[in-house]
Amino acid sequence: MVADERMRGRFPAQDRAVVRPRSEDSDQDSAPRAGERIPGVPGFARWPQDRAAPRRQGKALRDRVPRSAHAALRVGPGRPDAVAAVAESSAGRLPELAPIRVGRMAATPFAFLRGTAGLMAFDLAETPVTGVGAQICGDAHAANFGLYGDAIGSLVMDINDFDETLVGPWEWDVKRLAASLVLAGREAGADEDTCRAAAYDATGAYRRTMRLLAKLPVLDAWNAIADEELVSHTDARDLVGTLERVAEKARRNTSARFAARATETVLDGEETAGVPRRRFTDAPPVLRRVPDAEAAAVATALGGYLETLPEDRLPLLARYAVHDVAFRVVGTGSVGMRSYVVLLLDHRGEPLVLQVKEARASALLPHVTKAGFAVPEPGHEGRRVVLGQKRMQVVSDILLGWTSVDGRPYQVRQFRNRKGSVDPAVLAADQIDDYGRMTGALLARAHAHSADPRLIAGYCGKGEEMDEAVAAFAVAYADRTEADHAALVAAVRSGRIAAELGV
């Protein structure tokens, strides 16, 4: 591939700041004088605060939306059938990849759920909502939690997929997690009581963690991490061995390892910044070379990506040169979206791989609006994904950013940043509830960054009424998903919809 100058050369040095608008409320003339009480500063709570007010407000919400109401599942009018929902969600994706996406979703009911966040949001919009908003994942199923590396080499456990993130009802994430645990447990061969217990325990861990966060000093609650007091009450001892094995694998899951497997040195090729040229090798349909013009467009778009990063990241990236771009199929629900990997090499030839992934409007958007939430215009879908991720995680990828390629929005992040995940569908029966408690606690921590934990804790309360209700919903929705999956499989067998299985 003959690359253009930006692709072949180093990232341009950035000598200008990214200008951020100053709030009109920050006028220095309004600054308080020494010793003066501050009755209300824009962006801050009024002082003195009524510490018990949010909890009382949350408790009062039970009069309008009883916790037991969350057990309800109603199939609303106009609900698309499984095949129509899959076809609708494929609009705007690369049509040649649609059979791969359908094949992956047809594998199991749990896989079907993973690819139908929009369909579940349609159903959730028919259920009672508290009206309390949070930055939600939007796709908080049990396989979207995992390990990844931070800037100092440690591994962090957290939610790790944010394609659908937006401000919406916190309980939607909890219900999606609970339903996914039932489906994963069934796929793993666990009995029905164990599957229901996983959903019940995940909701209970969410509720107890939110109560714990509500009691902590705000800064301690904000910075709570998974290996401290946050999850001490989840009793996930049976998972320890599994997590250790996943962590060991994650430490080896790096850009260097991926590049060693997926690239080759260009024989008799030119050098870039003194380093022999390398390029991706074709491995269709998952990884494929792209035409020069397409590769150059992606490489050129990295200039816009740099402008979305904090200035202290720019000297780091300026020490890398772009060597190649390839297209790579990712995920289950994401199949068909445009997604690229970009190979960068430093002066020693050591690789860094970036993923440049198309960012579409959240599949939850029309359903969240129907549920009464006013969602602000994101402006750029890649920006929505990146800011949503940063709002929910304690530690995020230091190279998260966004850009546009040929007018389409993309998110940019490190690829294979020591990522590791637990497959909940292969856990032993005595582990699925442990995993549910751990993920429930992590979800509560993520929501508490944007919603006051005192408010949600006040609503959920000390008792187990919320746990019982969500567990009942989870079992009912798992049954609904199995019926939808069966309809998709029947459509594949009859030829109504094309599927490429086992890819």
Give dist(CA 340, CA 432) in Å, integer: 34
For residues 12 and 318, is the Cβ–Cβ distance under 8 A?
yes
pTM of the shown model: 0.89
| Whether residues 312 and 179 fall in one domain | no
Residue 257's alpha-carbon distances to 39, 97, 228, in angstroms, are 56, 26, 31
* DSSP secondary structure of 115-156: T-HHHHHHHHTTS-----EEEE-S---GGGEEEEE-TTS-EE
Give dist(CA 423, CA 246) in Å, integer: 10
| Whether residues 186 and 224 fall in one domain | yes
User: Is there a domain that residue 473 lies in?
Assistant: yes
User: Is there a domain that residue 40 lies in?
Assistant: no
Give dist(CA 21, CA 368) in Å, integer: 29
Report the SS3 class of residue 164: coil
Q: Which of 388, 403, 434, 452 is nearest to 160 (CA)?
A: 388
Residue range 172-176: mean pLDDT, rounded: 98
Q: Which of 52, 70, 66, 82 is nearest to 170 (CA)?
A: 70
Count of other CB atoms within 10 angstroms of residue 260: 10
Report the SS3 class of residue 486: helix
Count of other CB atoms within 10 angstroms of residue 315: 11
User: Is there a domain that residue 19 lies in?
Assistant: no
Mean pLDDT of the chain: 89
Tell me which residue range forms the domain holding 393. Answer: 253-361+374-414
pLDDT at 127: 96
Q: Are strands 145-149 and 155-159 parallel, antiparallel or unpaired?
A: antiparallel
Cis bond upstream, residue 48 (ω within 30) = yes
| Whether residues 161 and 306 fall in one domain | no
| Whether residues 222 and 129 fall in one domain | yes
| Whether residues 116 and 175 fall in one domain | yes
Judged against a pLDDT cut of 50, whether residue 375 lies above it is answered with yes
> Which residue matches tokens 């022999």?
276
| Whether residues 378 and 273 fall in one domain | yes
* Cα atoms in the 13 Å half-sphere on the side-chain side of 224: 29
User: Is there a domain that residue 410 lies in?
Assistant: yes
pLDDT at 230: 54
| Whether residues 400 and 443 fall in one domain | no
* Cα atoms in the 13 Å half-sphere on the side-chain side of 173: 33
Percent residues over pLDDT 90 in the chain: 74
For residues 419 and 397, is the Cβ–Cβ distance under 8 A?
no
Over its C-alpha atoms, the chain yields an Rg (Å, rounded) of 24
Task: Return the minimum-mean-pLDDT range out of 25-29, 84-88, 317-321.
Answer: 25-29
Judged against a pLDDT cut of 50, whether residue 15 lies above it is answered with no
Report the SS3 class of residue 348: coil
Residue range 16-27: mean pLDDT, rounded: 36
Judged against a pLDDT cut of 60, whether residue 380 lies above it is answered with yes
Give dist(CA 169, CA 372) in Å, integer: 10
| Whether residues 158 and 261 fall in one domain | no
Residue with the bigger pLDDT between 274 and 232: it is 274
pLDDT at 237: 67
| Whether residues 378 and 444 fall in one domain | no
Question: Each residue of 104-155: pLDDT tens digit?
Answer: 999 999 999 999 999 999 999 999 999 999 999 999 999 999 999 988 888 8
| Whether residues 264 and 402 fall in one domain | yes
Tell me the two tokens of residue 249: 């694998």
User: Is there a domain that residue 26 lies in?
Assistant: no
Task: Return the minimum-mean-pLDDT range out of 12-26, 70-84, 223-237, 444-458.
Answer: 12-26
| Whether residues 132 and 168 fall in one domain | yes
Judged against a pLDDT cut of 80, whether residue 277 lies above it is answered with yes
Residue 23 pLDDT level (bands cut at 50, 70, 90): very low
User: Is there a domain that residue 155 lies in?
Assistant: yes
Residue with the bigger pLDDT between 347 and 76: it is 347
Tell me the two tokens of residue 495: 């030829």
pLDDT at 28: 40
User: Is there a domain that residue 44 lies in?
Assistant: no
User: Is there a domain that residue 266 lies in?
Assistant: yes
Judged against a pLDDT cut of 50, whether residue 449 lies above it is answered with yes
| Whether residues 230 and 319 fall in one domain | no
pLDDT at 236: 65
* DSSP secondary structure of 249-260: HHHH-SHHHHHH
> How many domains are there within the chain?
2
